[in-house]
Structures are given as C-alpha cells and as structure tokens.
Amino acid sequence: MPKLNKKICRFDPWGLYYDGVSNLNKKKFDEAISIFDNLISKIDPSGIVHSYKIYPPNCPGQCCALISKLSKLQKYWLIKAYGNRGVCLGYKKEYKEAINDFDDVLKIDNRNIKSLHNKAHIRLINKDFESAINDLTKIILIDPKHSKSYLKRSMAYREIGELQKSRKDLENYKHFTLTK
C-alpha cells in the first residue's frame, strides 16, 4: 500500500476563507487581509474584477464581458474574499479601500445587499449622507422589506433635514420589524 503524502500542495479556498474569517473574528485584520489577498490572487490571478477600475468609464461593457468569463465558483469565492476584506478594511478605518472592495463585489453581483449595506454604513460614518441614501435606496428596491435599510436611510434623511422622508422610513422600519 502506497504511503499518503501529507503535504498535498493544492489550493484549498475553503481553508483560506475560514482562516481569513477566523482572523477577522479575532480582530487580526492585517492577517485576515493577507489571507483574503491570497484567496483573491488564486481565484483571479489576472485581476479581472479589480483591474476594471483602470478602464475608461465610457466602456463599461468591457468589464461585464470579462467578468462573465469567470465561472460561478470563481465569482462565489471572489464575492466572499472581497466582501470580507472590505469588512476588515472598514474596521481598520481604511474606508476608501473598503468601499473599493464592496464595489468589486457589486461588479460581480450588482444586487449584493451585504456590500450595498456595508458601503452605506461606511458612508454614514463619514457623513456622506446623500451617497448612503442612494445605496440604501438600491437595497430597498431589491428587497422592499429590508427593515435595517429603512432605519439607516431614516437617520440619513434626518441628518440632511428631510424630516418627512425620515418619518416615513421610520414607519416602514417599524412596520417591517413588527411583521417579521
């Protein structure tokens, strides 16, 4: 019977992902970011998703064509890696980089509520209320019963003096929270 080689050199996305999440949970953000960087470079070595930022804004179709060539599995892992790396960057108060990662998730899945919600949260922290309102409105269009979005949008409306809109969103928040 042949001996099994215990040092199997293979790429294990689950292992990398869970190591990254474990470090995130332990608030070891730099280590988690490094692991998510590694996962991203293994899944998308040519940087298709992230490099889209360098393309001129007048040819967005190029991004969609390139991203559509990624497999469902690649897209799945990139969403996980970019999303969690963005969370780590947010905790480190590296907000611009965090938003870039959430935007990368949205290039793959433009209906990703978690990334829209995380972007809105960072924008609220930075008092960019108009952009937060736009992100929260997108979430509500995707999921009209997403109560947290009504609450956060209500707070943003209140901050910019739109009190009637703030009250209406607060009522929606209460309605959807009580009906769960």
Count the domains in the chain. Answer: 2
Domain that holds residue 129: 113-180
d(CA 95, CA 36): 17
The pLDDT tens digits of the residues spanning 31-49 come to: 999 999 999 999 988 888 8
User: In angstroms, rounded to a whole number, what is the distance separating the alpha carbons of residues 154 and 68?
Assistant: 36
Buried b / exposed e over 64-83, threshold 16 CB at 10 Å, is eebbeebeeebbebbbbbbb
24 and 91 share one domain: yes
Torsion of CA 41, 43, 46, 47, to 10 degrees: -70
Q: What pTM did the predictor assign?
A: 0.85
Contact 84, 102 (CB under 8 A): no
CATH number at residue 155: 1.25.40.10
Mean pLDDT for 95-111 is 96
Residue 117 tokens, joined: 């919600």
Do 125 and 168 share a domain, yes or no?
Answer: yes
